[in-house]
Amino acid sequence: MTETLFLSDDDLAGLADLADYVNAVRDGYRQRGEGAPAEPRTKLVRGDPPGMLTDYSAILPETGAMGGYTYSAGFGAEDAWFVTPLFDAESGEPLALLDGARMNPFKTGATGAVGVDALARRDASTMAVVGSGAQARGQLKAVATVRDLDTVWVYSRTKESREAFAAELNDSLDASVAAVASSAAAVEGADIVVTATNASEPVFDGEHLDDGAHVTAMGQYHPEKRELDATTIERATYVPDLRARVSQDAGSFLAAVEAGVVDEDHVHAELGEVVAGEAEGRQGPEDVTVFDSGGTGIETVAAAHMLYERAVEQGLGTEIPFAPASEALTGE
């Protein structure tokens, strides 16, 4: 029998700021770039009631942890529930079980920021955000920890939503944040473009991207849905979170392949390879770069272990007993 720490939503509140998440996730991707194992998501779908059960996992040897997410979304409750198991990567024993919803926008925002930091120009200061939900908010706040932003334009389909988003973030960031009436108005002139939507079709025209722009796409991981058009993919140095995910659910890339403008060799490198220095990212100031993120166990394990360590230091959490298989199977 071993004692495992259960960390509730209340336990996790306030344990870390966005910069802490960014640092943990960056190190997780560095380990991936140096060979740490990670697998793309698997998703099981039910039609009635509609919903999905999803999971993904990773091992971070230097962190000493492994695990991932299992979450459900939709179904009768029409909500999402996130469970994060965390194991010791040496002994295999369960370290913690986290109520994972709290960290979701933070670790996802941090992943976007790591992509920006690895691929955007160092002098990037203007940003476009397409989307105005929780994920878009997390992306903007996280990017502001890795680039000195002075101007941000935000667009989403609902005027009230984008204006409320702009007002909130304008008060909380040093940058000037303003709502605009179209994605074209947001994207033109932006050094950094972040998409965080549930759109099925491209949310801007790739011809509107300035030379030297970086795009982080966070909102889609479905083979038949895409936030980016074929022009954006064709123009870009294309970097996904995991290479194995591209043929599975990177809808923007798959649509560009189907359109005949790129082939599988257009995948430049994984994000981890760029972070680890195993592959070059941006090669010049005029390059257009894309980071295509669908979510992995890398950021999940990195963030969960960081929170676990903070919780242990502060004496938070509730210990729950776990029986090893040898005892459970033999009854000894």
Domain annotation covers residue 178: yes
CA atoms within 13 A on the CB side of 150: 4
Q: What is the structure's pLDDT at 140? A: 96
Q: What is the structure's pLDDT at 330? A: 67
Q: What is the structure's pLDDT at 78? A: 79
Pair (315, 288) in one structural domain? no
Pair (284, 153) in one structural domain? yes
Q: What is the structure's pLDDT at 211? A: 96
Strand 176-179 and strand 288-292: the pairing is unpaired
Nearest to 314 by CA among 4, 2, 5: 5
Pair (145, 284) in one structural domain? yes
Pair (140, 58) in one structural domain? no
Q: What is the structure's pLDDT at 331? A: 58
Pair (88, 146) in one structural domain? no
Q: What is the structure's pLDDT at 325? A: 87
Q: What is the structure's pLDDT at 62? A: 98
Give the CATH number for residue 195.
3.40.50.720
pLDDT digits 0-9 by tens, 289-328: 999 998 999 999 999 999 999 999 999 999 999 988 888 7
Give the CATH number for residue 85.
3.30.1780.10
DSSP labels, 157-207: SSHHHHHHHHHHHHHHSSSEEEE-SSHHHHHTT-SEEEE----SS-SS-GG
Q: What is the structure's pLDDT at 174? A: 93
Name residues whose C-beta falls within 8 Å of residue 328's C-beta, 6 or more positions apart in sequence: none
pLDDT digits 0-9 by tens, 218-227: 977 787 889 9
Pair (191, 287) in one structural domain? yes
Pair (20, 159) in one structural domain? no
Pair (167, 263) in one structural domain? yes
Name residues whose C-beta falls within 8 Å of residue 217's C-beta, 6 or more positions apart in sequence: 194, 195, 227, 228, 252, 290, 291, 292, 293
Q: Which residues of the chain have a pLDDT value below 50?
A: none
Pair (138, 285) in one structural domain? yes
Q: What is the structure's pLDDT at 332? A: 55
Q: What is the structure's pLDDT at 193? A: 98
Whole-number Å distance between alpha carbons of 79 and 8: 18
The pTM of the full predicted model, rounded to 2 decimals, is 0.94
The reply to whether omega before 49 is within 30° of 0 (cis) is yes
Domain, as residue range, for 92: 2-104+297-330
Domain annotation covers residue 208: yes
Number of independent structural domains in the chain: 2
